[in-house]
Amino acid sequence: MSLPLELVKEIDVLNMYSMQSHMEGLKIHDSANQETIDAAKRLFEKGLIDQPDGGYLTHAGVEAVDHVHHLITLLKQGH
C-alpha cells in the first residue's frame, strides 16, 4: 500500500515547520504550487494548523510535526 499523494503533500507541509520554536509560523503564498496550497487547507480543516494558508501549529499539529520529524530522522539514519 502506498500513501496517497494528498497525505504525502500534507507531510511535506508539516515538515516545513520548525520544532525549534512553536512561535514560528508558516505562510503558504498564493504563488506556491496548488498541491501545497491544498495540503495546507486540509491540515487546517483537520485542526493541525490555525490558518488555511499555514499560520501556527495547534497542539495536535505540534504532536504531528514531532512524529513527522522523528520518522524522517529514522529513515535518513536507516534504522
User: What pLDDT digit, counting tens, does each position of 40-79 carry?
Assistant: 999 999 999 999 999 999 999 999 999 999 999 999 996 5
The Cα angle at residue 42 between residues 76 and 66, in degrees rounded to 5: 35
The Cα angle at residue 32 between residues 9 and 59, in degrees rounded to 5: 50
What are the cell numbers at 36?
501545497
pTM of the model: 0.90
What residue type is 63 in one-letter code?
Answer: E
CB atoms within 10 A of CB 59: 10
